[in-house]
């Protein structure tokens, strides 16, 4: 299940234009890895950064032997950048953490101790969040509440740092936006999940890349995940059921209209119920057709599932600089 791990812990951090944070993050993350006392690698993915992030990382790679850097050819978004880092990792366990230092790297040891209890994923639930109540905390609470109800995963805060089983993480196929849903994805795969409380700090430097509009995106991602988890394998089950319900309504309305036509001589051609029955019949045919089309698309998607949504332009580490091409999403 995935490649054989060569190290105990990998940390994966996507970054986009974080020149003010990157040096301090690497220093603290390296110290946290030293503290746990096991073989480790630190992977940072530059998601098409256009400031000095990559130049700083190149210098840091000379000073920190466990640091590995992937530079993507363009900005593909946090989820795809994180996916690139996960696929490049070798660790038996993978910590996914942002680079703005709102999540303390020092929480790694607590996450590792908790995962020793047999969990596939441990999530850091943020306490005393240093964010706006109206624009960040309330939307986050709503999104987490909906996600728990849709997926059955009981993690209260799915947006924090996470420690996940390495082979399981590398086996996941993440759609754009699903980095926020990792605990739910692991739960739906049958993995045991839990959470610990972690301190939440102010952003170390710079400005947030997230706005209120992300909340709506998250809700759409949740609805899509709920649909996928229930009907991904057989879309016809969902659309076929809708079509059958519409036909049942038709089978109730049409006999009544025919009875009134032939028994009471009431014209049914211009009556609203007759027009509604025709619309329901056509809609049922549409849903059946949609189900069949999605079945074919699902089969095609399974056949071409190896396509990646990113290109690694360059990678470098302490002792080497390698060109690493990858397959673009077409």
The per-residue pLDDT for 195 is 94
Arithmetic mean of pLDDT, 76-96? 95
When mean pLDDT is compared over 11-25, 139-153, 226-240, 257-271, the highest value belongs to 11-25
Q: What is the pLDDT of residues 160-189, one digit of tens each?
A: 899 999 999 999 988 888 888 899 999 988
The per-residue pLDDT for 324 is 45
Give the count of alpha carbons within 13 A of 280, CB side only.
18
Residue 197: beta bridge partners? 125
Q: Is the pLDDT of residue 278 over 80?
A: yes
When mean pLDDT is compared over 108-112, 188-192, 279-283, the highest value belongs to 108-112
And the tokens for 143? 């999104």
Which of 94 and 314 is assigned the larger pLDDT? 94
The CATH classification number of 7-231+309-322 equals 3.90.550.10
**Distance of alpha carbon 207 from alpha carbon 16, whole angstroms:** 11
pLDDT-derived band of residue 68, with 50, 70 and 90 as boundaries? very high
Which of 305 and 169 is assigned the larger pLDDT? 169
Range of weakest confidence among 22-26, 109-113, 125-129, 276-280? 125-129
Arithmetic mean of pLDDT, 90-112? 94
* CA triple 109-112-113, angle to 5 deg: 90
**Distance of alpha carbon 88 from alpha carbon 48, whole angstroms:** 17
Helix (H, G, I), strand (E, B) or coil at 124: strand
Identify the residue whose tokens are 């929480």. Answer: 107
Arithmetic mean of pLDDT, 91-97? 97
pLDDT-derived band of residue 292, with 50, 70 and 90 as boundaries? confident
The per-residue pLDDT for 182 is 92
Q: Is the pLDDT of residue 328 over 50?
A: no
The per-residue pLDDT for 25 is 96
**Distance of alpha carbon 159 from alpha carbon 151, whole angstroms:** 15
Arithmetic mean of pLDDT, 71-92? 94
**Distance of alpha carbon 280 from alpha carbon 316, whole angstroms:** 60
The per-residue pLDDT for 323 is 44
The per-residue pLDDT for 309 is 66
């Amino acid at each position: 299940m995935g490649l054989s791990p060569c190290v105990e812990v990998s940390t994966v951090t996507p970054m986009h234009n974080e020149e003010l944070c990157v040096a301090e993050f690497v220093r603290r993350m390296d110290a946290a890895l030293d503290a746990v006392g096991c073989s480790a690698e630190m992977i940072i993915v530059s998601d098409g950064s256009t400031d000095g992030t990559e130049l700083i990382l190149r210098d840091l790679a000379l000073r920190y032997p466990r640091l590995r850097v992937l530079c993507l050819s363009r900005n593909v978004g946090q989820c795809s950048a994180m996916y690139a880092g996960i696929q490049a990792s070798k660790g038996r366990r993978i910590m996914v953490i942002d680079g703005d230092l709102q999540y303390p790297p020092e929480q790694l040891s607590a996450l590792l101790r908790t995962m020793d209890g047999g969990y596939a994923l441990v999530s850091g639930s943020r306490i005393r969040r240093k964010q706006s109540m109206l624009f960040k905390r309330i939307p986050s609470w709503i999104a987490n509440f909906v996600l728990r109800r849709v997926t059955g995963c009981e993690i209260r805060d799915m947006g924090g740092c996470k420690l996940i089983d390495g082979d399981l993480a590398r086996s996941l196929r993440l759609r754009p936006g699903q980095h926020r849903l990792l605990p739910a994805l692991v739960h739906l795969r049958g993995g045991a999940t839990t959470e610990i409380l972690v301190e939440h700090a102010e952003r170390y430097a710079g400005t947030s890349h997230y706005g209120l509009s992300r909340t709506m995106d998250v809700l759409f991602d949740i609805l899509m995940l709920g649909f996928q988890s229930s009907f991904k394998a057989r879309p016809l089950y969902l659309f076929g059921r809708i079509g059958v319900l519409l036909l049942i309504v038709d089978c109730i309305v049409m006999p009544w209209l025919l009875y009134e036509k032939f028994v009471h001589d009431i014209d049914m051609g211009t009556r609203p119920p007759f027009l509604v029955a025709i619309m329901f019949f056509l809609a049922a045919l549409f849903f059946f057709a949609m189900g069949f089309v999605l079945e074919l698309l699902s089969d095609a998607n399974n056949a071409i599932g190896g396509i990646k949504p990113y290109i690694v332009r360059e990678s470098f580490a302490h002792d080497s600089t390698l060109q690493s091409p990858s397959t673009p999403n077409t």
